[in-house]
Structure 1
Amino acid sequence: MNKKFWLQGNYFRRNFIIILLITSIPGMIIGGAIYWFGAEKIEHELQILHQKHVNQQAKHLNSQLQELEVNIAHLGFDPELTSDLNEINFIKEFSKTHNLTQSVFMLQESNPLIAKAYLYVDAEQKTLFNPEYNPLTNMKETEQLQSLLSNKRGIYWRELPETLSKEKGKSSLEFGLIHNIPSGQSNNVLIVKLESNKITQLVKELNPYNEGAAFLVENDHLIAATNSMQDFRYEQDLHAKILEQKEPRGSFMYEWNGSNYSVSFGEMKRVNAEWSYISISPMTAIVKPIIVLSKIIILISVSGFILSIIITWVATRKIYSPLEKLMKALSIFEDKKSSTRKTNEFKLIEDKWHELAENSQQLQNQLLTHIPALKNGFLMQLTQGHLEEYSERDLYKRMKGYGWEIENPSFLFIDIQLTGVQHIKGSFSQSEDSTISFVASNVIKELAEEQFVHIQMMDFHDLSFGILIIEEKRFSTNESLMQFANIVTQAINEILNLQVTVTIGDRTSKIKEIPTIYEKVKHGKRLRYFNDKNQVIHLPEEEKSNLLKGIYYPFTIEKKLIQSIRMEQTEDFEELIQKFMLELIANESKEINIQQGVIHLFNSFQGEIMQSGFHPLEIYDGEDIMQKLMQHREPSSIIHCFMEDVIRPFMIKLQGRQNHERKKLVEQVIAKIQESYMEDISLEMYADQINTNPYTLSKTFKEIVGINFIDYLTDLRIEKAKQLLSTTDEKISDISEKVGYRHSYFNRIFKKQVGVTPSQYRQTQRMNEMQKSTIAGK
């Protein structure tokens, strides 16, 4: 069954969805209720807590600033500062100068919000204690400090003059607390500059999150700020929005750059001033616990949903399992061509059931038409021993399944062998064995069915047929079996003009013994006499002593056959093997004896092959020639098989090897001639050296080289003489001796071969060389 089919079945999907809804809906409802109701309440509480935190931090900031204001106010009653400082010479009266310095320094260290404390003395000599004594000589600085006396208020907040805010490298204006102290005829100004980092830290605590911003302002003057909002400007973006609020303290929602912020604001009463604080916090930071809680709820819900899916899948698979097993049993697979996804499984099962019923009926009808072939196949396996592992009961059940309804059966095997095909001169040709088998099989089957109740024909496709006779309780009598053999013989003789050998086997009542009686019949038919006559072999009555009757083997003809092979006399071999077969069957020897004689001759021939240096497997390419010979049951066919399948392949191999050996011998002789052409050599000398006779060597030499021995030697000596005449100045008599000739004979043979005498040939060659040299020089 297709693994994905259960995902496509309506029944599975419907159950899966129902169980999934049952298991997951309660969890989804509970999770949703917790999120929508619980989260909303928690979000409201978080906003209240945030507002309380801002108010609390604003009170803390206010208290810190009030403490600073009180400290400054108390210094207005310090005798050192309220005395008439205009009459003091700060240079000469060092102790008073030191006391003032100490007072300013103590003020600077009295509060962490104070970054720097100053005392400006408006006397004849303008002086600034910072807290060290510092007489002023710069007019601009004096004017800036003098401007602090213009405000008639005793204590007030304002931006510091540039001369004070630029200290320590700072370029922006800074805020400070100013206290004007009357001192006799002069006015003194006590100046406290706020510690910007401390103030900024206190302002930052108004917004407890890393995101957002916090501001401390006086009207439209920015005192301190912390801002993590990119490109956000309080004056441009928020100041007008806060002024629109009617309450002095409160909060509102503010949208900026697509995000929502909670803005909390309020007022602080300062000495002779009103300050405002603003805290801007992103809602994502405020409700972050809600987001975490939401994620936890979602995670729990998703986990619960996944668990529901797993439980649903397991439960649905358990419910679906019986249906799946049924569909597996019915082999229902996914049909991609049809819309199985919209089809109910039960409808598929119903359709499949009808389909299987129709197929079963068709198969039964086909089985009835193929029963004979199935029976034949079963008997072929049985007789060949392929069903040895089955018990008697199992074999009986199989036979009943093939239609043999017999109680207490008995079995008899008959073999019918046709011979004489080589001599047919009627409607059939020698090559039409299949047609002969077809006609003979039908004739024998028809006659057997008339004679016996249950029979099964077996065609062995070698012009032999087997008949298994199955009867209840008892077999037919020997007389009826002989009568059947005679009827079959007569019918085959008349219709096909062939001879028949009928072999009747033993009786048995056990199915497992059928292979045994078949083998007995198969071997028993070899008891037929090796002639073209009708024969009936009744094995139970056959005398064992008859097996050796008439045994004869023509050893003399065998020796002549082997000798003809050695001498490569193929024509003599064919005549001798015909005599061999005639003598072998002269005494009406039985087929088994004829086959043994043929086997003995073939073995002798194989020995000759091996003595020749070949292996039978090499000659016959691994083919089982012995088996091929045993298939022939007529002398003419055996002779033909010996000539074509046994002798011819060997002669081809032998001739090929002999040609190769002869070529090697000639090559050896040529090599010897090349080495000894200048000596007195002859064909007889070389024939003795290679252990052959001069006639054979001369014949072989001419076949391989194309010319005879003398002509080859003469051509070689003349060519060597030409080389010496052209390249040396040796005497012609010396050259003739070097190439193996006497001087007088050399001149005659050279002129006969070349057409000119040796001296003329040398003169011609030298003239040719001179002409070539002259042409090359030009």
Structure 2
Amino acid sequence: MRFSVGSTQGTLRFRGMRSVFNRIRKLNVYYKHMLLIFVVTCLPMAIIAACSYWIGVSRIEAEVKTSHRLQLNKISSSLEDNISRLEMLGNQWSFNPIFAPEWIGGDLRLKYNETRELFASLRILQEANPLIENAVIYIRDRHLLVSEQEGIASIEEPDRQSVFAKLMDQRTAISWQVFDSLPLKYRSSTGVALVHLLRDSQLDPYGAIMLFIGKSALDDMLYPLNPDGSGAAFIMRQDGALVTDGRSVPPDNAAPLNESIRSEVIHRAMEPADFAYKYNRTDYSVSVGEFKRPGWIYVVATPISALTAPVLLMLKLSLAACALGLLVAIGLSWLASRQMYRPIGRMFNLVRESEGGAAQREEESDEFAFIEYRWTNLKQESRELRLKLERSSRQARDGFLRQWIQGHLAHLSEEELVDRIGQNGWDAQENQFAVILVRLSDMTDRGGRFGKGDEQLASFAAANIAEEVVRMSGTPAEIVNFFDLSIAVLLFVPAEWQRETVKKELFQLAEVIISQLSSFLGMRVTVGVGKPVQRAVNIHQSLEETRQMISFRDIDKKEQILDMDNLLPQSGNPVHYPFEAEHELIQFIRMGMEDEAVGQLGRFVSSLKLSRGQELLFRQGMLQLLGSILHALLKAGVDSGSLYRSDDLYEQLIGLVDADVMQQWFEDVIVRPFTGMMRDNREKLLEQLVDKVVHIIHESYPLPISLDSCAEEVGIMSYNLSKVFKYFTGHNFIDYLTNVRIAKAKELLIGSDLKMNEIAERVGYQPTYFVRIFKKAEGVTPGKYRSNYMRNANKNAGER
């Protein structure tokens, strides 16, 4: 029964709306226009008034959230800066002489003065940064913890000793650690500490500085993010445990809110993000971020109502103003419609008097719209058909011309092609054909009108300029735009013209084109003048030859014209390749020195331009550089596929035209990515290089090897090799080589009957120099060392 009543009500509503529309359709122009003015003036105002609240709330809410996010980023950045300063502070104090092994060694309980100064230094260190709650020194050999607050505490438990033993074995000197239990009287409020290993001159750790982070300092930094306590602000570790909840005395609902949001963040894998969260019928805007250095996760939840409350009153006032404006618009639209109808009414009266009954019947719907439509309809249709015909004819001509000049109509015979040319409005019977190819380059030059990505726009502008030049010259020609910074000018010249006359005409036109393009576009312009051909089917061959000729252009010239008839290969001129600049560039890349590598790339390109001025030779040089870099990185064990995957670097480089574009491509695609990768893996790669040098020393010690020869062998500068060799082995290169040779010499002295000269040659020394080096290292001459060993051996044999 309810279905029937509902259907009846819907039918009545539909009939009522249709009746209203029928009445509106029968109104005359005056009332129609008045209703239209009402709709135009009032409806938009009503829509704006209705939407200003909803859209305004969402937009302002988004802006407030953005402002809140900026404040959050600022506070998190401040905390990051404090952590960075804390790490720098710990790093500086790790080199303080008060923490040297000879100062803190021995029994500190018996060294009163040293212990007092140590406590004073720890107190100064603790007060140097607000994040530090407690500064503790760990001494490895005695398993002691020293702190100004706790004094000297001994670690007796084996499991706790093993924790600090693992701490001493780590490779990095600076790390963040979490201590769940420590033998300290006053426990750390967070259990999180920044640990700086103390190393001796041999780089062996003998202790550590542990700076424990205080909860109160972190809470002070989090307070501006949740000043009224209506939300939540806390910091978590990577394992999900809380570092601090941001509250000294939380209200009743704070702990459940923190726990609920913490569980949601863990469920989302603790990824930095912004999301909405509903808790106890309250919507919260939750922001999750990460502190990069300690690896902490900070979480801030703010009630959305607290963000949008300041703007609600303003939006309501705006809504009221819109409603008032709507009423005013209704009154003004009524007055405006009366004024607008007066000239329309006079025009309608004139039409009605002249047309009689026909006009009277049309009055029921519109007084003059149909008359105006009938008067203009045929004229409009005629204009549109004419424009479509001209447009389609032009497109057909352009398509045929593009196919012809590019050789896509090679299957046609000469007669068929000439006939097709005549159908498109060109005279090919009494003409010969010539082509001029224009190539634009260097869109990155200063002062140019176009930039990167404007290739099609630049080609279009060049085609228009060339078309205007051809039109002004009066030469029958057509322009073909390839939309790749190149255009072709196809000329129809009389067949009776001599070749010299045709070439003169082509060169005059080429000079005007290159002058106009260079002046208006501000780009480098190269024009290739092709060979004239008598047959239409051969024009695409002339174009292809001219396109290949363009590759022999001089890359440093602003304007140049190349003639196919005068293009001769240059012979007898030596071609130089900057091998030294290439070697230095590869060295900078392998060392991860990005700025130096970019500067060296510029010097390499400048040197290559001087020796290889033609575009073809310059591109070959850049391809050689790409191959050398990839080969050097392959020898170093770097997989370029991890950066580029299936990208063909050679194909990308071959597709580039300008020298500056090639240089920028090398910088963006090759130099910077590879130096970044090498910088990230620098320590591992340097260690591998040192291992390789050590292997060379043990294998080639009898030969006259040196630091420079080893550096050249592994592809690194000798100065850098000396530093990294000392860092990883603890000895400089000469001392290490000398120790290996002396050890081999001692083996030969006690295990063979070789003479001193033979032993010296076998370990890579001259005999006289060998004696001095051996005596300096062992305190005795080689002969004395052998006799002492034999005497001791005989004595031991006699005692048995």
One fold, TM greater than 0.5? no
